[in-house]
A = this chain, B = another copy of it.
Amino acid sequence: MKKVEAIIRPEKVTVVKDALADAGFVGLNVVSVTGRGAQKGVVHTGRSGQHVVIDMLAKAKVELVVRDEDTEQVCQVIIDTARTGEIGDGKIFISTVEDVIRVRTGERGESAI
């Protein structure tokens, strides 16, 4: 099984999660993170006059574990819904998960996803 971690714009979470549900991927988690990337951040003028570059921006990390064969589709759904074309759209990281356990039943493996 694969774990798909997508770092996206916070305002995109709703569309992404709904699209995933429609595509049959219900289970997932969202964590709020602050991220830094090519998108170098915006310059702010504080009330006390100083100018600062805010390089850490609020992002959301959508995490879900899926069957190997579903990985591509999941990524595609995320890309389609999270992309704006502007710098700051984010990244998707894919890694291997060896086992999944459903706490409620103790089931293991794919059936537990």
A-side residues, CB < 8 A to B, are 2-3, 6-8, 17, 21, 26-38, 55-56, 59, 61, 63, 65, 75, 78-79, 82-104, 106, 112-113
Q: Which residue of B lies closest to A103 (CB)?
A: B89
Residue from A33, A36, A88 having most chain B Cβ neighbours under 10 A: A36
15 contacts between A and B (CB under 8 A): A3-B95, A26-B36, A27-B38, A28-B35, A30-B56, A31-B33, A75-B101, A79-B106, A89-B103, A91-B101, A91-B113, A92-B103, A93-B100, A95-B98, A96-B96
Residues of B contacting A75 with CB < 8 Å? Answer: 101
Contacts of A26 in B (CB 8 A): 36-38
In the assembled complex, the Cα of A78 lies from the Cα of B100 at a distance in Å of 13
Q: Are B34 and A30 in contact (CB under 8 A)?
A: yes
Q: Please give, as numbers and ranges, the residues of chain B lying within 8 Å of A89 by CB-CB distance.
A: 102-104
Chain B residue nearest to A86 (CB atoms) is: B104
